Amino acid sequence: MAKLILMCLKFMVLCSTVEAVFEDQVGKFDWRQQYVGKVRFSHFDTHLQSSKKVLLATENNVFASLNTRTGELLWRHVDKIGPEGNIDALLQHGQDALLVVGDGRLLRSWEINVGGLNWEIVLDSGSFQSACLIGQQDIVKHVAVLKKTVISLHYLSNGHQKWIENLPESDTVDYQAVYSGGNGDVYALGVVPHSHIAIVVYSLEDGEIIKQISVEAPWLSNIQASCAVIGQGMLTCVDSATVSLYMLDLDAQSEMTQIPLQSLGLDVTPGFQPVLVSTQPNPAQPPLSEFFLQLGPEHHLLLQLNDGQIVTLRDFKPAMLVSFATTGEKTVAAVMSPKNMTACTINLFSAESGRRLLDTTLIFNMDPNVGKPEKLYVQAFLKKDDSVGYRVMVQTEDHTLTFIQQPGRVMWTREEALSDVVTMEMVDLPLTGTQAELEGEFGKKAAIQDGLFSMVLKRLSSQLILLQAWIGHLWKLFYDARKPRSQVKNDVTIENLSRDEFNLQKMMVMVTASGKLFGIDSKTGSILWRHYLENIPSNAAFKLMVQRNTAHFPHPPQCTLLIKDKDTGLATLHVFNPIFGKKSHITPPAMPQPILQSLMLPVMDQDYAKVLLLVDDQYKVSAFPSTKNVLQQLQEMASSIFFYLVDSSQGRLSGYRLRTDLSTELIWEVVVPTEVQRIVSVKGKRPNEHVHSQGRVMGDRSVLYKYLNPNLLAVVTESTDLHQERSFVGILLIDGVTGRIIHEAVQRKAKGPVHVVHSENWVVYEYWSTKSRRNEFSVIELYEGMELYNSTVFSSLDRPHAPQVLQQSYIFPSSISTMEATLTEKGITSRHLLIGLPSGGILSLPKMFLDPRRPEIVTEQSREENLIPYAPELLIRSEWFINYNQTVTRVRGIYTAPSGLESTCLVVAYGLDIYQTRVYPSKQFDVLKDDYDYMLISSVLFALFFATMISKRLAEVKLLNRAWR
Amino acid sequence: MLHIERIPLLWVFFQAAVVVTWCFTDLETGPGAGVSVTQPNGDRFKIEGRAVVPGVKTQDWVSTARIFVEGEEYVGFVRTDGSFAVNDVPSGSYVVEVITPNYRFEPVRVDITSKGKMRARLVNFIKTSEVIRQPYPLQIRANGPQTYFMKRETWGWTDFLMNPMVMMMVLPLLIIVLLPKVVNTNDPEMRKEMEQSMNMLNPNPELPDVSELMTKLFSGSKGSSKAGSSSKGTRPAVKRR
């Protein structure tokens, strides 16, 4: 009984020693940025004149509302990833926003002020085509949803279905659009490609078919791409083959009238599909009779339909983007036209007359490192003098949103490319001149060359430099203190970037799926540089490598990004400076062959750049940089350079050795039969990882040595049979040099997704147990035993004894999204696992809890070793969340980097959001904690000092008294 | 030790009782531990419920809330009145969670049979087949705000005084200073009385050392009285001030 109590006590003590965040640390060294993704639909909230909201529906299945003054999120709703959460349409009516989600599966209505759901209904199956609000007599009460085979009408107030009707001849007719002009009729427009248009008119009240007409249109294949309804129900289409406009009155006519564009004096750019843009400001009223016709990539026309005649109001050439906007009763057209290479102008024109409105010019400056403008969203408002003012939101190719006010003031920009970070690295900041000087003093070369005297001089001069810097700092402080607080700017710019004394501030180089690269200051989160790479294939895989860090001063740091097209395997290299983001002048080698593998060698060329080896599909190796020096070094080292290739489609792992002529030879091959299981992931160890202690001290004072094989690979396989009784997850530990299988474990009745962390002498993996329907963790640790075979160096080729393998499994009460281990400078600090949960929390779980030596029965020895008794369930304590309520939605990766302090590990979690913080797995043992009580220690010192003074005085008095006696 | 052995027995009884009640209340067994195969074209069902954060208006928290069914497998949103529904869920057994960054909700396991019968029970990952029924449609109450932060150790006088080291120092000091004043050890009658009481306490004749110890103690106390007198020496000085 006593033992049990002791055990419990110990457990509690251990638990309480685990770090957590203190409330006053909030925002001190951590920051979060929230994103929504590439915008697909956007609506400005116009139902109130003073509203400052913009609704965004994005390709990342996010529906959000932004504050237009600041660009910050008011609220955000993140749906499922994939087609089931895909947002098909966004309609706004008053305070409600309607979303059609998941290819027409769900219809949702949101309250946009609070951000709460009004209602959600399931629609009948069928692929979604179009949706529109239906009004009658100026009141909008319904929404119509058109699907492949049915059309349904729903009440806006509660989503209930008013009626649902099958579309006639839906097997031949492709219904694509739904339209209502506010007169109580609902038009479903369909097309039989290259034959005719089918128009079905339904009654709003009961869904009865009022009219059904079919109109010959052998030139038409897609209504949505080439048609629009203009004015009083005039369906207008444009055809590039006959270079004509076709018009049809939906109510009266049964044949289309052809208007050749030449009769209007217009000409289409060859090879361009003309586009019609109309606007319907109020769904209860027919669309305006003015519309845009785009005839070329930079040629737009504002046309008007006047008594069946088309009148050209204005010709815009060049004009890149056009957009309509309505405020009150006024509708305006905004036109963006290029001004010069780096700027565009936006002007407002009256939609009715085509006249330019005075004082509405707005200048949009284009950064050369940013893509071209793609979409224009205009927020128009009435000024006090009843003239129209406006602000615009410009969306560029690189998914950036820029919100601009007249006459060109950028109110905010949002880098939505950061919602899709693929990979990242953290690079040390460069030393300042003074720091470099100080470092240079201790350089080895200097010490040998110089005599004692010059050394002393150097020392003195460096001290002087330090003093100078300190005085300069003090002066700046003093100078800033006199200024009002608002004027003091502590903006970090590239110019004043320098390493801090503990190397806690670094440059985060982030690569996004859209091909935009970012350099972010890790301390503040401000974006210091951005670079948009054009012509990135949509399915590209990226690998970012640091070839030269900032430690080699005259040489600039250098990063290399390998961009590989997943289909063809062809790759390109982008070489750049990670601190400034500038493309390097070094020309990367051309790679005509598909690339199979890339590996970074610890070998450096004479300019201190690490050598990157690229293996192509002919198993030929090329080096970058490939100077003579490098090739010579490679020839010398060739016999000790090994690499492996994974072919998951054939289930083959193969190991190769480099020959001196840079060809390769196959030395081993492991085949995993693809009929039974497939390779899911292969994880090696991180090359920059340090292990401080070679072994663990046991309770009886003997040492259990760790099996620290740097070439070990953890290969995870999943069964192809997904039946829950027969599915399994396998893990293979393979030596990457010899191909020797060190260990093999199989988890029966388990399935993926499997998340793996491989570090030191352990592998932790997580899987779904189909038998018990829960997530489980398993840990494998490898030990050499009580004796070390060769304590000086580890060689895969000379290790005769197989390691001892220990394994234990635990229940984890949540599914996980991603997993990574903390990393510190020297590896002395205990390790934690950082687990990204779907809820957005990032859990810091001590590795101590995942230790296969946790005993079931507590003994004296295990207590001596501080082993926690085995418990099947791992707990999630909310104090262990390192990001408290700053959740990281859809966390996809966690990046850890060591800092200059052994106790501190820098952590970046990225997904839809980006969160940066520091963790202290063994608390801050090497610096004073930030709650260190300076007051107490100084008051105690002073009290003691005064006490001695007083007592001294008293003693003197006493002695004097005694002498008198 | 006897009652400790009884605890497992009691536990077995309790479990048996639970199982029995379950058998009585729920004849329809539902999808047991092994049945969660999802037919690709099977029926889809709706999980409904209501989430409540006591003392907080719904509009203050619904915009940050989501309903997770088995992780992010199925996602639902909370209506402005706190109720929620997750559509399109096939039959099976799922853990339903209300996810908000600021409030803590207990997860609930919901079983859906292939016919669409629903039942909710407490989540137990260790004994997965144990059934403790919960109401369905779900009623999930937040059990308070999330506690993400540790409390700073603040320094107080009580902490200092209650420190065992300080206690060990202060208490003997008090005894040394005060005891000689309370008990006049020079009085022979008193001394005899104390000795007697000591003997009463230790009737064992095998321990003759006690008297020795006593004398030592008293001589010690004399020493301490000396110390007391020395401390008296400082006292006038204090008075002077």
Q: What is the pLDDT of residues A440-497, one digit of tens each?
A: 666 555 555 667 888 888 888 888 888 888 898 888 888 877 766 555 455 556 667 7
Which of A115, A890, A936 faces B63 most closely, judged by CB atoms? A115
- In this structure, are A552 and A427 located in the same domain? yes
Owning domain of residue A56: 27-122
Domain edges within chain B: 44-145, 152-197
Residues in chain B: 241
The yes-or-no verdict on residue B240 having pLDDT over 50 is no
Question: Considering the entire predicted model, what is its pTM?
Answer: 0.84
CA count, 13 A, side-chain hemisphere, B187: 9
Structure tokens at A374: 């793609």
Quick check: A878 and B153 CB within 8 A? no
Q: Which amino acid is at A681?
A: S
| B36 contacts on A by Cβ (under 8 Å) | 724, 770, 773
Quick check: A931 and B78 CB within 8 A? no
Asked if A44 and A377 touch (Cβ cutoff 8 Å), the reply is: yes
The contacts of residue B127 (CB under 8 Å, 6+ apart) are none
Backbone angles phi, psi at A869, to 5 degrees: -60, 145
Quick check: B148 and A77 CB within 8 A? no
The yes-or-no verdict on residue A763 having pLDDT over 90 is yes
In-domain check, residue A459: no
Helix, strand, coil percentages, rounded to 5, for chain B: 40, 25, 35
Query: For residue B137, is the peptide bond before it cis, meaning its omega torsion is within 30 degrees of 0?
Result: yes
pLDDT band at residue A31 using 50, 70 and 90 as cut-offs = very high
- In this structure, are A328 and A402 located in the same domain? yes
- In this structure, are A269 and A199 located in the same domain? no
| B234 contacts on A by Cβ (under 8 Å) | 954, 958
How far off is chain A from B121, nearest CA to CA, in Å? Answer: 15
What's the structural domain count of chain A? 7
Quick check: A772 and B33 CB within 8 A? yes
Q: What pLDDT, on a 0 to 100 scale, did the predictor assign at position A441?
A: 62
How far off is chain A from B96, nearest CA to CA, in Å? Answer: 11
pLDDT band at residue B24 using 50, 70 and 90 as cut-offs = very low
The H or E element that residue B209 is part of is helix B209-240
| B237 contacts on A by Cβ (under 8 Å) | 954, 957-958
Which residues of A87-243 form beta strands (DSSP E)?
87-93, 96-101, 106-111, 116-122, 128-136, 139-147, 150-155, 161-166, 174-179, 185-192, 196-203, 209-216, 227-230, 234-239
Q: What pLDDT, on a 0 to 100 scale, did the predictor assign at position A538?
A: 84
pLDDT in tens, B163-198: 788 888 888 888 888 887 776 666 778 778 777 877
In-domain check, residue A731: no
**Between A568 and A16, where is the model more confident?**
A568
Asked if A189 and A158 touch (Cβ cutoff 8 Å), the reply is: no
How far is residue B229's CA from residue B234's CA, in Å, rounded to a whole number? 9
Quick check: A724 and B233 CB within 8 A? no
In-domain check, residue A248: yes
How far off is chain A from B73, nearest CA to CA, in Å? Answer: 8
How far off is chain A from B156, nearest CA to CA, in Å? Answer: 10
| A811 contacts on B by Cβ (under 8 Å) | 125-126
| A933 contacts on B by Cβ (under 8 Å) | 155
pLDDT in tens, A204-221: 888 888 888 888 888 888
| B1 contacts on A by Cβ (under 8 Å) | 1
Q: Please count the other Cβ atoms lying within 10 Å of the Cβ belonging to residue A46.
A: 18
- In this structure, are A432 and A528 located in the same domain? yes
Q: Does A881 touch chain B (CB under 8 A)?
A: yes
Asked if A633 and A682 touch (Cβ cutoff 8 Å), the reply is: no
In-domain check, residue A713: no
In-domain check, residue A797: no
- In this structure, are A47 and A148 located in the same domain? no
Quick check: A879 and B149 CB within 8 A? yes
| A105 contacts on B by Cβ (under 8 Å) | 88
- In this structure, are A198 and A334 located in the same domain? no
Nearest CA in chain B to A884: B148
DSSP string, A187-221: EEEEEETTTEEEEEEEETTT--EEEEEEEE-TT-S
Mutate to test the interface with A, among B149, B229, B231 (most CBs of A within 10 A): B149
Quick check: B101 and A885 CB within 8 A? yes
CATH class as words, domain B44-145: mainly beta
pLDDT in tens, A556-594: 899 999 999 888 888 889 999 998 888 888 888 888 888
Mutate to test the interface with A, among B63, B74, B143 (most CBs of A within 10 A): B63
DSSP β-bridge partners for residue A907? A896, A917
Quick check: A931 and B153 CB within 8 A? yes
In-domain check, residue A877: no
Asked if A115 and B62 touch (Cβ cutoff 8 Å), the reply is: yes
Q: How far is CA A814 from the centre of its chain?
A: 23
How far off is chain A from B16, nearest CA to CA, in Å? Answer: 21
| A114 contacts on B by Cβ (under 8 Å) | 59, 62-63, 80
How far off is chain B from A520, nearest CA to CA, in Å? Answer: 26
Q: Does A870 touch chain B (CB under 8 A)?
A: no
Q: What pLDDT, on a 0 to 100 scale, did the predictor assign at position A922?
A: 87
Q: What pLDDT, on a 0 to 100 scale, did the predictor assign at position A358?
A: 82
CATH of the domain at A66: 2.40.10.480
How far off is chain B from A20, nearest CA to CA, in Å? Answer: 6
Q: Does A24 touch chain B (CB under 8 A)?
A: yes
DSSP β-bridge partners for residue A807? A780
SS3 assignment, position A342: coil
**Between B209 and B70, where is the model more confident?**
B70
The contacts of residue A141 (CB under 8 Å, 6+ apart) are A134, A135, A155, A156, A157
Identify the domain boundary among A612, A638, A671. A671
The H or E element that residue A628 is part of is helix A628-637
- In this structure, are A144 and A191 located in the same domain? yes
How far off is chain A from B71, nearest CA to CA, in Å? Answer: 6
- In this structure, are A438 and A566 located in the same domain? yes
How far is residue A872's CA from residue A944's CA, in Å, rounded to a whole number? 53
Interhelix angle B209-240/A934-964, rounded to 10 degrees, is: 90
pLDDT band at residue B6 using 50, 70 and 90 as cut-offs = very low
| B149 contacts on A by Cβ (under 8 Å) | 20-23, 879, 884
pLDDT in tens, B70-101: 888 899 999 888 899 998 888 888 999 999 98
How far is residue B172's CA from residue B167's CA, in Å, rounded to a whole number? 9
Structure tokens at A871: 């418990």
pLDDT band at residue B233 using 50, 70 and 90 as cut-offs = very low
**Secondary structure of A358-384 in HEC code, one letter for each residue:** CCCCEEEECCCCCCCEEEEEEEEEECC
The contacts of residue A628 (CB under 8 Å, 6+ apart) are none
Of A1, A20, A34, A315, whose CA–CA distance to A886 is shortest?
A: A34
In-domain check, residue A894: no
- In this structure, are A616 and A517 located in the same domain? no
Q: How far is CA A159 from CA A100, A839, B50, in A?
A: 12, 29, 19
Q: Does A647 touch chain B (CB under 8 A)?
A: no
